Amino acid sequence: MKLREFECLRAIITTGNMTRAAASIGISQPSASSILANLEHELGFKLFERVKGRLVATVEAKHFMPEVTRTLDSMDLARQKAKQIKDNKFGDLKIASYPDIAIDFLPGVISRFLDGNREVQVRLHARRSEMMSGLLPAQEFDMAIVTSLVESRNFDVEEFQLPCVLAFSDGFDLHDGASLRPADIADLPIVSLSADHPTTKQLVEKFADTKTLYPERLIETQTFESAASFIRRKVGVGLLDPVTASRYVGKDIIVRPFEPAVYQSIYLLIPADRPVSRMFDLFRKQLIADLEDCNQRCQLYSKDMAKKQIGAAGK
């Protein structure tokens, strides 16, 4: 028995007419008659009687139809599922990420990706990079986003270097140059991440390279989001990565380029020993594009604000 025979049988029962049934499934009337005859031969019993010019299902056909219907419904579901997969509208994403971008940035990326892809299941786990060592070997995710390479074996790695910006609030007396340097903030209270964070280590090095005494740290915290909260409350000035800074520029904080540059490294880790879906590949490309766009917007904003400040000072 073939699915085409089942489709023809259902069409004949529904329409009660061989010609209309054939038209409904896109075949000729002789082809429909031939398909019906073959099916009756395979089954070994008659499926229709002609009553007053209309095809009427036999008792045997009525007993057989529930199985036909279940088979065709199952095939319809399979076709729908295949189309969803083809159109990248079905699947699941399991992402582990360091907390800063899991708060707002990643939900934004994922929400835009889910627009029109509502059948996609997403699980987002926020973990500090150094705490992902247990997750990485088990590979219980499609992608891990970390700020340090605790574990990189058996992973494809994509690295992004995002230049941090100096963030501060109204009330801090900073010069009107195009960018700020260690000497410009040496006498100001600093909000920084922990001493072992890569950006803090770089900042200490930049002070040493420019022979500038590193200021006493007023506030030390664990995340850029937490640092931004202190900066917004006018506790001090500090470096923020572009992803975090872009949430607040033009609202609660002012950002300016900082030189020599301090970089926040972001690594996308994807298990190398298993294939990725077309849907995941589209998400990865959108994530990368959004990271680059976020960085570009933040840098352009900080440079634009610097130019405006210089212009205002010259009047």
CATH class as words, domain 163-263+297-314: alpha beta
What tokens appear for 263 in the block? 């970089």
Cβ contacts of 212 within 8 Å, gap of 6 or more: 182, 183, 186
Q: What is the CA radius of gyration of the chain?
A: 32
Average pLDDT over residues 215-238: 90
Q: If you search the block for the tokens 């409350």, which residue do you land on?
A: 233
> Pairing mode, if any, of strands 238-240 and 165-168?
antiparallel
Between CA 231 and CA 226 the distance in angstroms is 9
User: Reduced to 3 states, what is the DSSP secondary structure of residue 93?
Assistant: strand
Binned at pLDDT 50, 70 and 90, residue 315 comes out as very low
**Which CA distances in Å does 58 have to 15, 187, 265?**
15, 95, 73
For β-strands 90-97 and 119-126, DSSP reports them as parallel
Q: Give the pLDDT of residue 304.
A: 66
The 10s digit of each residue's pLDDT in 168-219 is: 988 787 766 678 899 999 889 999 999 888 999 999 999 999 999 988 778 9
Task: Give the rounded percent of residues in the chain with a pLDDT score beyond 70.
Answer: 84
For residue range 90-115, what is the model confidence (pLDDT) as tens digits? 567 889 898 888 988 999 998 888 88
3-state SS, 169-194, equals CCCCCCCCCCCECHHHHCCCCEEEEC
Q: Does the pLDDT of residue 312 top 50, yes or no? A: no
3-state helix, strand, coil in the chain (%, to 5): 50, 25, 30
For every residue of 273-307, which 3-state class applies, written as one string? CCCCCHHHHHHHHHHHHHHHHHHHHHHHHHHHHHH
The model's confidence at residue 152, banded by pLDDT at 50, 70 and 90, is: low
pLDDT at 311: 46
Q: Do domains 90-161+266-295 and 163-263+297-314 have the same CATH topology?
A: yes
Residue 240: partners with Cβ closer than 8 Å, 6 or more residues away: 164, 165, 167, 224, 227, 228, 231, 253, 255
Residue 136 and residue 96: Cα distance in Å, rounded? 9
The answer on pLDDT for 12 being more than 90 is no
- Average pLDDT for residues 81-97, to the nearest whole number? 69
Whole-prediction pTM value? Answer: 0.66
Q: Which CATH class is domain 3-86?
A: mainly alpha
For residue 138, name the pLDDT band (cuts at 50, 70, 90).
Answer: low
Least confident of 12-16, 54-58, 75-79: 75-79
Higher pLDDT, 5 or 275: 5
Output the average pLDDT for the chain: 82
CATH, range 90-161+266-295: 3.40.190.10
Closest CA to 4 of 17, 26, 15: 26
Tell me the per-residue pLDDT of 19-70, one tens digit each, with 9 for 90 and over. Answer: 888 898 899 989 988 988 888 888 888 888 888 777 888 888 888 888 888 8
The reported pLDDT for the residue numbered 116 is 64
The helix-helix angle for 29-43 and 3-15 (nearest 10°) equals 110
Give every strand in the sheet of 143-146, ordered side by side. Answer: 119-126, 90-97, 143-146, 263-271, 155-163
Give the domain ranges of the chain: 3-86, 90-161+266-295, 163-263+297-314
